[in-house]
Structure 1
Amino acid sequence: MTSSAEKQTVADSGNSTRPPLGKLRGFRFFFLSRTISGLGSAVTTVVLPVLTYQQTHSPLLVSLVAAAGTIPYLLFGLVAGAVADRVDRRRLMVAADVLGAAALASIPLAAALDSLTGAQVIVVALLSSSLALFFDAGVYGLVPEVVGKENIAQANGLIYGAESIVRITGTALAGGLMVLLDPADAVMVDAVSFLASALFIRAVARRPHGDAPAARRPGFKESVAEGLRFLWGHPVLRTMTVVGTLQSFAGGAIVGQMVVFADRGLGIHGTDARIGFLYTAWSAGGIGGSLLLPRLRRRLDAFRILLVALPIGAVLGLVVVLGNDWRVAVVALAVWGSAYLVVLVNTMTYSQEVTPAELQGRVNTTRRMLSSGLGVPLGALVASTVTVRFGIHAGMSTAVASVALAAALVWSVHVRQLVRGPSQVRA
């Protein structure tokens, strides 16, 4: 729940004379950066695993490349957050984009020289994902600075809604590109998107206000510890971090077992187009969630949204797991996907609202390290292990159990707060 002091802080931020979101030049450029880069990244999400398999014929290495988006958060999450809070965020983001473009462009170049190897593809996948992590670490502080804390929910809703759309579009585009081009050449689409992103971020950097004066910079180790202390010492944010990790665990379990569930649970085999409907429903649900969140935040505080969205997600998960009609599964997955994104973006928005500007990178990359870096791969691993031993319905049920556990956690905190009384509640 939200304390009166925190509500006053958010209210005070709302009294800013900052213009509406759509009129903010900096946000428009930032939005274009994220959308174009997201489209290119969606293409490589499909193309790089295909290219890896062509080069290595190793399912293990293909899995490594597919997981490249989350591995860097485990390895460099704390470091990236500390770096983003110690340097100019825009310059960091531009540098990450330019270096990412160079890394990706090395693949078609090596293919043209007939020197491309599987090892290079794997290294590029991990390197580009690591650079994207440093870009994201800058994003957490840049969004509140550009749009103001009163507009974070709306801004994040627009950003994540657009990313859901371009993810669907990009994966479809990847299939078409691989018909027309060699997979190595198709990677160039993402390299160009990184360069375009860098140009748009540079345009944001030319805002007249610039960055706020830098605060005292502690040592690197102390800097990391400071972010961890803030996250652990904020009861609501700590609870939301656990919820986000459980939610991401569920996402990893769902996506990781979708093909197996389609085959063994719904009777959709081989290359049946209905498998694509299941994936599209989950992603499209995110679009609905991104549109819904700003409206919810105008009526409910961040914690109460969790009280509603998590139980709904658990119930919809049961509908998916227990049903055997693919049409019901498609609808339930779409609505579940909406509730799923509402929880994740609501948690991120709240974190950006309550975290001091100088701690944004450290606090939010730590949260992301636990959710995406730990929750997603762990969910995929546990679900696949349970599926092998007990069957696909049991494997998919791990996702439902994770969401139900998150719901039980927030409701137990809520009940405890009601028993203690308003004077004991701290945000």
Structure 2
Amino acid sequence: VSAEPAAQSVSAAGWRERLSLLSDSNFRKVWLAGAIYGTVRWLDMLAVGVFTYEVTGSPMLVAVMVFLRLLPLILMGSIIGVVAERFNRRRLLLGGLVFLSIVCAILFLLALTGYITLWQVGVGAVVNGFLFSADFAIRRMLLGEVAGMRRLGAAMGLDSATNNATRMVGPLLGGVVYQAVGLEGTYLVGFVLSALAALLIARLSVDSSAPPVRTSSLLADIIEGLRYIRSNRVVMAVLVITVLMNFFAFPFLGMIPVIGKDILHLEPSLIGVLAAADGCGALFGAIVVAVFAQSVYYRRIFVIGSAIVLVAVFVFSLSGVFGLSVSVLLIGGLGLAGFGTMQSTLIFVETPASIRGRVLGILTMCIGTMPIGMLAVGLIADWIGAARAISVMTLCGMAVLTAVLVHWREMR
């Protein structure tokens, strides 16, 4: 299967044409639904991390909670990609958001009445992880279809900008609500926001996701997707870099509550500020990418962004000062914008529409390696401390990224 027609259809749209996406009501609904769900995901991750550490005092169990949240990505990513090609994508996404809102309501009542336990919080994290899988593979397909190939870079840039804004707003909101109200407050906010996102998806007036009739099996479709990935060196390189970033770099997110409490001695609200710092930098960076990035630079933006993240997280692991920690995470956020925006954009550009859902599903699985990295950093943190564990992981990530760039010269 050749990706040339898709790649050639991406031309350099002007910045005014890129921003015209915002006048499309269907784009706004899919885009805003993602922003709202992203806020739920990040506020819940911070609040659950702080709650788990307060109850258990174990960095390892904090990492386990993040592991449970991301486990569905690696278990279900390829399946969700195939399902997204076979069934109505709007209805799949709507059903997931409704189910999440119900789970948030149940956990709110349990927390309010004092009956909530750690295993129930873990179940909520798994449910959130299933919807994260669907959001990445299904909602981003909808977003790309609504935008069209010519405005694809802008669509993914704007979506990345809002996702990174939620990395800023979600932890801030989670820290403030948790400190003021407690765990029940975060679940109440999660219920309201999930229901609002579901309402936006329910009101989509144009559904471009009518599935074709397929006669092949799920397994055959997955195998076809894997064969295509092996035939495209750029797609393979994007997936390998995604794995290394999620295994070596991003697990630091699960250790932020630990570092904030034990090393920087912060209150939950300031831990929220720390967790939001990279999202703030990424928001600014993603807006710049959305407006100005040209397709000829997509690969370099992806690689340079990955390198910046690794270096920034390494410096963060050495810092014992709140101001320096926030500053380097802001810089790391700029790199995250390049990595996150170009990750999906390169897959769209390099992959034909007939197989795109499967490749996005495999990409979701690659993102799902983050929980394995979380367990690794949690185990190392119990042994040598959270900060040193992050240092070890990011140094390994830098070495692997160097090896990848030597092998896949197309990405330089």
Q: Could you say whether these structures have the same fold, taking a TM-score greater than 0.5 normalized by the shorter chain as the test?
A: yes
Structure 1 unaligned residues grouped into runs of 5+:
419-427
Q: What's the offset of the Cα at 1:260?
A: 6.1
Listed one character per residue, the Cα deviations across residues 242-291 of structure 1 (whole Å, up to 9, x for unaligned) are 01111222333433444666789xx6345498765543332222213312
Q: What's the offset of the Cα at 1:411?
A: 4.6
Aligned identity (percent) is: 23
Residue 338 of structure 1: aligned partner: 334
Q: What's the offset of the Cα at 1:232?
A: 2.5
What number of residue pairs does the alignment pair up?
Answer: 408
Matched, 1:221 2:216: no
**Aligned mate of 1:378, from 357, 365, 373:** 373
Matched, 1:235 2:233: yes
Residue 401 of structure 2: aligned partner: 406
Q: What's the offset of the Cα at 1:99?
A: 1.3
Q: Take 1:369 and 1:94, find their aligned partners in 2: how far apart are those partners? A: 22
Residue 243 of structure 2: aligned partner: 245
Listed one character per residue, the Cα deviations across residues 356-385 of structure 1 (whole Å, up to 9, x for unaligned) are 3343332112112122x1135415614752
Residue 396 of structure 1: aligned partner: 391
Q: Match of 2:203, SS?
A: helix
Residue 137 of structure 2: aligned partner: 137
* Cα distance, 1:33–1:7 mapped onto 2, change above 3 Å: closer
**Aligned mate of 2:350, from 348, 354, 359:** 354
Q: What's the offset of the Cα at 1:240?
A: 0.9
Q: Take 1:5 and 1:390, find their aligned partners in 2: how far apart are those partners? A: 50
Residue 153 of structure 1: aligned partner: 153
Q: Take 1:214 and 1:236, find their aligned partners in 2: how far apart are those partners? A: 27
Q: What's the offset of the Cα at 1:138?
A: 1.1
Q: What's the offset of the Cα at 1:344?
A: 2.9
Residue 78 of structure 2: aligned partner: 78
What is the RMSD of the two structures over their aligned residues, measured on CA atoms?
Answer: 3.7
Structure 2 unaligned residues grouped into runs of 5+:
none
What TM-score, normalized to structure 2? Answer: 0.83
* Cα distance, 1:25–1:188 mapped onto 2, change above 3 Å: same
Matched, 1:172 2:172: yes
Structure 1, 267-276 or 226-235: larger mean CA deviation: 267-276
Residue 122 of structure 2: aligned partner: 122
Residue 188 of structure 1: aligned partner: 188
Question: After superposition, where does 1:10-89 map in structure 2 within 5 Å?
Answer: 10-11=10-11, 20-49=20-49, 57=56, 59=58, 63-89=63-89
Q: What's the offset of the Cα at 1:314?
A: 5.0
Residue 421 of structure 1: aligned partner: none
What TM-score, normalized to structure 1? Answer: 0.81
* Cα distance, 1:162–1:236 mapped onto 2, change above 3 Å: same
Is contact 1:33-1:200 (8 Å) kept? yes
**Aligned mate of 2:281, from 274, 285, 306:** 285
Q: What's the offset of the Cα at 1:325?
A: 6.0
Matched, 1:368 2:338: no
Q: Match of 1:20, SS?
A: helix
Is contact 1:168-1:283 (8 Å) kept? yes
Query: Could you say which structure has the larger radius of gyration?
Result: 1
Q: Match of 2:69, SS?
A: coil
Listed one character per residue, the Cα deviations across residues 120-176 of structure 1 (whole Å, up to 9, x for unaligned) are 333233123223423432113211111112222222222222222233223222333
Is contact 2:49-2:254 (8 Å) kept? no
Is contact 1:137-1:364 (8 Å) kept? yes
Is contact 2:248-2:397 (8 Å) kept? yes
* Cα distance, 1:223–1:98 mapped onto 2, change above 3 Å: same
Q: Take 2:390 and 2:399, find their aligned partners in 1: how far apart are those partners? A: 15
Structure 1, 350-359 or 406-415: larger mean CA deviation: 406-415
Q: What's the offset of the Cα at 1:42?
A: 2.9
Q: Take 1:235 and 1:22, find their aligned partners in 2: how far apart are those partners? A: 34
